[in-house]
Structures are given as C-alpha cells and as structure tokens.
Amino acid sequence: MTRLTAEFWVQAYLARLRLMDIPAFVTSHGDDTAGAVLVKLNTLDGQACAFHRTYDLMSGSRKWDELASGAEADVDASIRRQQEFDPDLWVLEVEDRQGRHLLDEPGLE
C-alpha cells in the first residue's frame, strides 16, 4: 500500500480544518517524507489534548490515540518530551472551543 508523505497529509488535514473554519497551525515542521505527526487540540480554556497516530499490527489499521490531556502546560510538556525523542516530529495545533479536531473522520487515519 502506498503511503502519503507526512507533508502531504499535513497539508490535506489543514485544508480540511479550514473548510470547517477551525484554526490550525504547524508549530513544529517535521520530516517532509516520513515524519510522525502529533496533533494538539487547544480548547482555549486552559485545557488541551495531544493525539498521535498508532498502528495496530494485528489488523493493519491506523488510528489516532490520545497521548496526553489536561492542563495545556502539562500537555505542552508532554509534547516537548516527544520532540526530544523524535526530532522529525510534526506538531500541529488545532484551536477549537467545541473540541473539534476531525481526526475521527474517514480518510484521516
């Protein structure tokens, strides 16, 4: 199966968010080809969640799992720790008071 490059996936995701009027920003540009992507959802109330994509070896499927949630400062600290381990990591920040991130929609796994 052919996989999209990280940069292509990021640009498509940002475009989908723009269509829904959900602000999102690249806060850390990872490797264009194979960088992992981490999405931070900022609900603009001091709280946040970070999501990362996982791969299920048994089913071969990909899905988004919560990496961290709680106070935004704590989530940011968790993201920084991930960046220390993976310098090729993309970090995207989605800002939505309603908590929309669209990661559960078809085509974004």
Rounded CA-CA distance 64/38 in Å is 9
- Average of per-residue pLDDT across 87-104: 96
pLDDT at 2: 59
Residue with tokens 């996936």: 9
| pTM of the model as a whole | 0.91
Candidates 22, 17, 39; CA nearest to 90 is 39
For the stretch 32-78, pLDDT in tens is 998 899 999 999 999 999 999 988 788 877 889 999 999 999 999 99
Which residues neighbour 3 within 8 Å (Cβ) at sequence distance 6 or greater? none
Quick one: tokens of 100? Answer: 């929309």
For the stretch 62-73, pLDDT in tens is 889 999 999 999
Contacts 24+ apart (CB under 8 A), 10-18: 10/37, 10/90, 10/92, 13/92, 13/102, 13/108, 14/92, 16/102, 16/105, 16/108, 17/94, 17/102
Quick one: tokens of 76? Answer: 């940011």
- Average of per-residue pLDDT across 91-95: 98
- Average of per-residue pLDDT across 18-22: 97
